[in-house]
A and B are shown apart, each in its own frame.
Chain A
Amino acid sequence: MKIKILSLGILVIGLVQLACELDGFLFNTEKIEKYQLPGNTIPLKLIEEVTFKSGDYALFGYWVKTSNNRRGLTVLYSHGNKHHIDEYWDRVMYLHQLGVNVFIYDYRGFGRSEGESSEKALYEDGEAALNYVLSHFTVLPDSLIIYGYSLGNVPAIYQAAGQIRPLCLISEVPFASANSLTQGSTIIDIPPRWLTEGEFDNIKYIKQINTPFLLLHGEADDFVRFRDNGKVLFENAPEPKKLLLVPKANHGDIPETMKIENYLQALNQWVEFSVKYQRK
């Protein structure tokens, strides 16, 4: 009996403690020795594992060069909260089919990257990745497509709101802020910071972007509801912008739900539009 009570007590304390620490849930702490790049179909000669510095920490990433770089474009991809680069390698392979270079990286504390994750570190890591791509691979800002998926929209929108003017920003299933998630779950209007430590204020930064904005969101997203996340960001984003609300798509399956070829076609069209817009 005492053991049962003790176990229940530990569970209760654990739940409370976990709930109090936003970062502990948002960020991945699984460490790995080696990336597997599961299901990779990209020729290995085009793939380069790289490390770069963000503050005092070494971050890991992959530069995937296209063999068909007819446009000289590069996608800087910031992934979601789950695991690390391996989890998102299928996305790298999709984007590679666009005929562009792709750069993907792990934030502090993710995969092989050193350090500990935090909201501040996300911004710093995003900035470090951007600077690395621009300087090391001599990518021009106006040939850079910034792509954020879910949590990755925190660094991606921040990158697009910075000093450079990238070709375009593509946001897939972004949340509007930590508070938008909390309020959606509590149903009531809980003020900012009551229940969360982080702000993750994508609304603030989306207002500052100066590049064409494409938003992809699933109508059936059961985690980041469109109504109080994607819609809010879209309404706050400056023109030019386009919303692609995908019927029946959930949080992690937009490309598959709309079919890969349609997904790539939609991206392609937005890139073409952005190139033309840039020339105006």
Chain B
Amino acid sequence: MKKFYSAFLLAGILLLLNCAAHTNLAPVGKGKSTTYLSFGGPIIKAFGARIPIPYATIGSNYGLTESVNLHGDLHLLSLAYQVVGLELGTAWFPIQHEGLRPSVGIMPGFLALASVKSGVDDRFRLYPQLAGSAAWRSGKNKIYTGFNFLFPLSSADYDDEAAAAIFSPFVGYQWQVGSRTKLFFELKWNAATTRSDQVAVDYLPVAGHGAITPLFAIERSF
């Protein structure tokens, strides 16, 4: 029964949060910028197989100072549902690479969603976010880990068990390809503290919680 229903709510998962690889691992340098394309999403069971949802975002980092980046992401696939998704934030790196010391980043920001679909009464949602990351050098490459907190400001009126914060830890690897290009592979446990084994979509949860989410990204610096 569930398999048959699963696909019908693919739309639902496409807006599951934090579906972009974490490219903000170090300062990009004052006045410099990078552009990146991220794709991947929660693994779900559909059409008899486990597949990641092909979510896609495009974004840019800009170096405001030598230790602070600004970043913005536009969610591409949600546009198919006439939902504009925009993430804006800043990344501050109080600790930067030196020897075995990782580059540590703290990233406050927000995700804004707006529906431009006709017949919709309630058009906007805003979600504050806070992320943290630590990235270690591995030759020219980097290995990194971190977390993301997203804070829903509202919940369905019937849902008295809604989470106050959605926690998503991640690990990843960044390859330096040439002087200007980087590739990222990241594994995220989306909504790790939220039960996901009793919802319409067949996610790949861990102990009944969250959704395993592989993400890929390519970044080009300018």
Interface residues in chain A, defined as those with a beta carbon under 8 Å from any beta carbon in chain B: 11-12, 15-16, 18-20, 22, 24-26, 80-82, 150, 176, 179-196, 220-228, 231-232, 235, 251-252
Binds A, one of B3-11, B30-38, B63-71, B137-145: B3-11
Q: Give chain B residues whose Cβ lies under 8 Å from the Cβ of A192.
A: 120-122
Q: Report how far A184 CA is from B1 CA in the complex, Å.
A: 17
Looking at A181, A188, A189, the one whose CB has the most chain B CB atoms below 10 A away is A188
Query: Does the CB pair A227–B159 fall under 8 Å?
Result: yes
Query: Does the CB pair B10–A222 fall under 8 Å?
Result: no
Within 99-129 of B, Cβ neighbours of A (below 8 Å) are at 115, 117, 119-123, 125, 127
Q: Give chain A residues whose Cβ lies under 8 Å from the Cβ of B191.
A: 187
Interface residues in B, total, Cβ within 8 A: 51
Query: Does the CB pair A25–B121 fall under 8 Å?
Result: no
For the complex of A and B, list the 9 residue pairs with the smallest distance between their C-beta atoms, beginning with the closest. Answer: A25-B8, A19-B10, A191-B122, A185-B12, A195-B11, A19-B11, A225-B198, A185-B201, A184-B199
Q: Give chain A residues whose Cβ lies under 8 Å from the Cβ of B53.
A: 15
Query: Does the CB pair B4–A185 fall under 8 Å?
Result: no
Query: Does the CB pair A224–B54 fall under 8 Å?
Result: no
Q: Report how far A150 CA is from B155 CA in the complex, Å.
A: 25
Q: Give chain A residues whose Cβ lies under 8 Å from the Cβ of B11.
A: 19-20, 22, 182, 195-196
Q: Give chain A residues whose Cβ lies under 8 Å from the Cβ of B197.
A: 222
Known: A190-B12, A227-B159, A228-B156. 4 other contacts (CB 8 A): A11-B51, A190-B15, A191-B122, A251-B1
Q: Give chain B residues whose Cβ lies under 8 Å from the Cβ of A22.
A: 8, 11
| Nearest CB on A from B45, distance (A) | 11
Q: Give chain A residues whose Cβ lies under 8 Å from the Cβ of B14.
A: 19, 195
Within 165-219 of B, Cβ neighbours of A (below 8 Å) are at 166, 191, 194, 196-201
B152 interface hit (Cβ, 8 Å)? yes
B158 interface hit (Cβ, 8 Å)? yes
Query: Does the CB pair A18–B1 fall under 8 Å?
Result: no
Binds A, one of B21-29, B76-84, B87-95: B76-84
Given known A81-B5, A181-B200, A189-B152, contact A228–B80 (CB-CB < 8 A): no
| Nearest CB on B from A88, distance (A) | 12
| Nearest CB on A from B63, distance (A) | 31
Query: Does the CB pair A221–B16 fall under 8 Å?
Result: no
Q: Give chain A residues whose Cβ lies under 8 Å from the Cβ of B17.
A: 187-188
| Nearest CB on A from B215, distance (A) | 15
B86 interface hit (Cβ, 8 Å)? no
Q: Which single residue of chain A is at the shortest CB-CB distance from B12?
A: A185
Q: Give chain A residues whose Cβ lies under 8 Å from the Cβ of B131.
A: none
Query: Does the CB pair B9–A187 fall under 8 Å?
Result: no
| Nearest CB on B from A154, distance (A) | 14
Q: Give chain A residues whose Cβ lies under 8 Å from the Cβ of B9.
A: 19, 25, 181-182, 185
The 23 sampled A-B contact pairs (Cβ below 8 Å) are: A15-B53, A19-B10, A19-B80, A24-B8, A82-B1, A179-B156, A181-B199, A181-B200, A184-B200, A185-B16, A186-B13, A189-B155, A190-B125, A191-B115, A191-B122, A194-B15, A194-B115, A195-B11, A195-B12, A222-B198, A223-B5, A226-B198, A251-B1
Q: Give chain A residues whose Cβ lies under 8 Å from the Cβ of B8.
A: 22, 24-26
Looking at B11, B80, B127, B196, the one whose CB has the most chain A CB atoms below 10 A away is B11
Q: Report how far A176 CA is from B156 CA in the complex, Å.
A: 12
Given known A18-B7, A22-B8, A223-B200, contact A187–B156 (CB-CB < 8 A): no
Q: Which single residue of chain B is at the shortest CB-CB distance from A23?
A: B8
Query: Does the CB pair B80–A191 fall under 8 Å?
Result: no
Q: Give chain B residues whose Cβ lies under 8 Å from the Cβ of A16.
A: 77, 80
Q: Give chain A residues whose Cβ lies under 8 Å from the Cβ of B7.
A: 18-19, 25
Q: Give chain A residues whose Cβ lies under 8 Å from the Cβ of B150.
A: 188
Query: Does the CB pair A189–B54 fall under 8 Å?
Result: no
Query: Does the CB pair A187–B16 fall under 8 Å?
Result: yes
B58 interface hit (Cβ, 8 Å)? no
